């Protein structure tokens, strides 16, 4: 894959961010309108995308990709687990938000264009689907529970959120091979297709409302861990456990920028960290134009 192909996948995300930034500077999204963007994404579009993505994963894929699943669990939940330990020691929400930002990437938005150029869209769908299961079925409900669990309703209250139960329902449908009516899945696909674009617009609006992205220690740490530390660790562990090819596949699928969904969760549950996460989203999208080609060259995929 050459630099032009990587830019071809990164630039659309940057352009949508700029649309949101322009809309925010012009005052098109302020106050209730900005809240409505977050609500549309977190309660409607993203749950629909999570449900359809997990439910569409073939059962044989779920049952046959054990080694890849192990590596992705190490990448996503292993890093998050370290943050959970710090969370118990510090009893603060910053650790949870930063851990989510480090572990939750734009794999669904950028994965198929980039991995598809390397190995074909059909082959790319498998690691993307497995990453989706780890993030959507485990990380999202767990992170939401930790962020909202101390509020009214506790853990059960957090699990009532659509972003938490939708992927779990999708997993049940996939494992039980539940047939879904075409009209229902078609409607959910249409709704879910809005998730990435609306989330990126919301990031741009947030950055516009707070000024230029801030090059803080927190934003830099999130960006470096997201783009370099996690992929390189996964590659090293993967080579030791399963060999080069599987390690390269896993490393690339966890190498994408910070997901804007984390910024929306921060806005709702830890607003003091919203700007840090929004800045990390912007920096990681820009930085991925350099780190992705370097990783591809380094691991020799």
Give the per-residue pLDDT at 232.
92
Give the Å distances, CA to CA, from 170 to 52, 158, 248.
Answer: 7, 18, 28
Ranking 204-213, 241-250, 276-285 by mean pLDDT, the lowest is: 204-213
Lowest mean pLDDT of 109-118, 147-156, 252-261, 271-280, name the range.
Answer: 147-156
Mean pLDDT for the stretch of residues 172-196: 87
DSSP string, 57-82: S-HHHHHH-HHHHHHHHIIIIIHHHH
Top-tier CATH class for 3-299 = mainly alpha
Quote the pLDDT of residue 152: 46
Mean pLDDT in residue range 3-20:
75
User: Looking at residues 32-46, what average pLDDT do you find?
Assistant: 82
Residue 88: the pLDDT is 66
The pLDDT assigned to 4 comes to 67
């Amino acid at each position: 894959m050459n630099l032009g192909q990587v830019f071809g996948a990164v630039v659309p995300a940057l352009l949508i961010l700029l649309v949101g930034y322009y809309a925010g500077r012009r005052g098109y999204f302020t106050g209730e309108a900005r809240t409505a963007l977050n609500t549309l994404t977190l309660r409607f579009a993203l749950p629909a995308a999570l449900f359809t993505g997990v439910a569409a994963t073939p059962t044989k894929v779920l049952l046959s990709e054990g080694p890849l699943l192990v590596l992705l669990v190490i990448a996503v939940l292993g890093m998050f687990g370290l943050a959970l330990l710090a969370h118990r020691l510090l009893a603060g929400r910053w650790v949870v938000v930063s851990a989510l930002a480090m572990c939750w990437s734009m794999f669904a938005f950028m994965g198929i264009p980039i991995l598809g150029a390397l190995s074909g869209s059909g082959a790319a769908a498998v690691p993307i689907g497995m990453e989706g299961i780890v993030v959507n079925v485990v990380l999202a409900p767990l992170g939401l529970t930790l962020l909202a669990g101390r509020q009214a309703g506790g853990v059960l209250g957090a699990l009532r959120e659509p972003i938490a139960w939708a992927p779990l329902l999708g997993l049940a449908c996939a494992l039980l091979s539940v047939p879904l009516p075409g009209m229902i899945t078609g409607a959910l696909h249409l709704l879910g297709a809005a998730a990435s674009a609306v989330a990126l617009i919301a990031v741009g609006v947030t950055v516009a409302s707070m000024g230029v992205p801030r090059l803080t220690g927190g934003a830099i740490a999130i960006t470096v861990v997201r783009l370099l530390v996690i992929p390189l660790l996964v590659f090293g562990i993967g080579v030791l456990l399963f060999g080069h090819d599987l390690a390269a596949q896993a490393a690339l699928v966890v190498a994408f920028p910070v997901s804007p969904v984390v910024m929306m969760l921060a806005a709702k549950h830890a607003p003091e960290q919203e700007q840090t996460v929004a800045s990390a989203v912007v920096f990681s999208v820009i930085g991925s134009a350099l780190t992705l080609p370097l990783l591809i060259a380094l691991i020799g995929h």
